[in-house]
């Protein structure tokens, strides 16, 4: 009986510590008092159509995981692009507190935070595995948090695409001259490469891409890869599908959290949010690996012309991309710090890959 009483008393103390009658948070702001048994309801704005395959589903999965792991104590309501804020204004909405959470891609706010795109996607840059290694084991997360802190945002990796495709074109690409005058939807530093090649970049959210391509407002587009491209119906608006995705060997999507509200969460809920984001980061990559394969098979069965960009074109793109990335880093002190650290770490990963992935792929065929 004494043992039972001790266990009951201990459980009560643990509940008080976790539930919050005396627990205070000091992360990112003034200490906050937690109400016992309070259900916390947060809004998440996203850059994606509702339940869109991959990215949209990933946001919904995050909300489901948080609800389940917290026992219903933390609930997240998802808002698709345009429902609460426009698709490309997620960062600002979270920064000013319009929503507690956001799910998007960092290169959309490179004009506000130049270093942000280095945590998202770089032309001829890191794959998903390399980016995760750098973020979680190479110091990338700490740099990311420091970069976003002045904007009142805590970032977390929350999804990855893996290697993408180069995109959909209504004209053949046989030489570098074919990029001159080309109007293409492509964001980030890949877009700057296209500009230097003589093209024109048109930034569009997912929901506007098909119509723009079909009506001729743009000549080409890249979105993500076969899984998402099929869902948008892009094969019905363009003739040629080019690979590989030089502009985005991977996109790491981000969970943005308003730092002020993050400070109000007890440690166990903070741990749950981090765990859910980490789980979605891995599961989304699994989804893309599986569904891209299936979608590509379907596209080819429907007569889509899948082509590889010529070696000479890829070589020129790589040359220009190196110039663009270095220039972007040199133009901003924070970006320069991030790129210097990231580049060194990626070189070490690449050196090791020569003994591992490269030979396995080459020999296996």
11 compared with 341, residue with greater pLDDT: 341
**Fold of domain 167-247+302-364:** D-Maltodextrin-Binding Protein; domain 2 (3.40.190)
Same fold, 40-161+251-289 and 167-247+302-364: yes
Query: 3-state class of 107 per DSSP?
Result: helix
| Mean per-residue pLDDT over the chain, rounded | 91
What angle, rounded to 10 degrees, do the helices at 140-148 and 128-137 form? Answer: 80
Phi, psi dihedrals of residue 291, rounded to the nearest 5°: -80, -30
- Which residues partner with 154 through β-bridges? 257
- Return the pLDDT at 35: 60
Report whether 116 contacts 189 (CB < 8 A): no
Distance CA 271, CA 58 (A): 19
pLDDT average, residue stretch 83-111: 97
Q: Give the integer Cα–Cα distance in Å for 250 and 120.
A: 8
Angle (nearest 5°) at CA 109 between 30 and 49: 100
- Of the listed ranges 6-10, 230-234, 274-278, 352-356, the least confidently predicted one is 6-10
- pLDDT score, position 37: 73
Evaluate if residue 226 carries a pLDDT over 70.
yes
Tens of pLDDT along 126-183?
999 999 999 999 999 999 999 999 999 999 999 999 999 999 999 999 999 999 999 9
Task: Name the residue with higher pLDDT: 16 or 117.
Answer: 117
CATH number for the domain whose boundaries are 40-161+251-289: 3.40.190.170
* pLDDT tens profile 264-292: 999 999 999 999 999 999 999 999 999 99
Compute CA 88 distance to the chain's CA centroid, rounded to the nearest angstrom: 13
Sequence-ordered alpha helix ranges (H) in the chain? 2-19, 55-69, 90-96, 128-137, 140-148, 188-196, 206-215, 226-232, 259-262, 267-301, 311-330, 333-353, 357-364
The residue extents of the domains of the chain are 40-161+251-289, 167-247+302-364
């Amino acid at each position: 009986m004494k043992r039972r009483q001790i266990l009951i008393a201990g459980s009560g103390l643990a509940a008080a510590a976790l539930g919050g009658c005396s627990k205070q948070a000091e992360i990112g702001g003034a200490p906050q008092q937690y109400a016992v048994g309070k259900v916390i309801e947060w809004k998440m704005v996203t850059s994606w159509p509702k339940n869109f395959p991959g990215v949209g589903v990933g946001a919904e999965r995050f909300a489901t995981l948080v609800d389940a792991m917290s026992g219903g104590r933390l609930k997240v309501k998802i808002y698709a692009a345009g429902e609460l804020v426009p698709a490309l204004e997620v960062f600002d909405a979270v920064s000013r507190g319009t929503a507690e959470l956001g799910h998007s891609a960092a290169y959309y706010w490179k004009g506000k935070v130049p270093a942000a795109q280095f945590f998202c996607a770089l032309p001829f840059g890191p794959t998903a595995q390399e980016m995760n290694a750098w973020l979680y084991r190479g110091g990338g997360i700490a740099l990311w948090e420091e970069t976003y802190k002045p904007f009142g945002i805590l970032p977390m990796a929350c999804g990855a695409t893996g290697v993408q495709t180069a995109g959909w074109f209504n004209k053949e690409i046989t030489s570098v001259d074919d990029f001159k005058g080309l109007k293409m939807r492509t964001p980030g530093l890949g877009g700057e490469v296209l500009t230097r090649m003589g093209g024109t970049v048109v930034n569009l959210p997912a929901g506007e891409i098909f119509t723009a391509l079909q009506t001729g407002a743009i000549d080409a587009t890249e979105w993500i890869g076969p899984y998402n491209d099929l869902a948008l119906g892009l094969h019905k608006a363009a003739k040629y599908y080019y690979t590989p995705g030089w502009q985005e060997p991977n996109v790491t999507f981000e969970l943005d959290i308003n730092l002020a509200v993050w400070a109000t969460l007890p440690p166990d809920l903070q741990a749950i949010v981090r765990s859910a984001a980490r789980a979605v980061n891995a599961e989304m990559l699994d989804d893309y690996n599986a569904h891209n394969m299936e979608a590509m098979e379907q596209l080819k069965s429907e007569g889509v012309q899948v082509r590889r960009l010529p070696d000479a074109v890829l070589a020129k793109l790589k040359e220009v991309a190196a110039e663009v990335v270095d220039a972007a880093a040199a133009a901003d002190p924070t970006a320069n710090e991030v790129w210097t650290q990231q580049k060194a770490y990626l070189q070490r990963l690449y050196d090791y890959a020569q003994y591992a992935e490269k030979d396995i792929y080459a020999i296996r065929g």
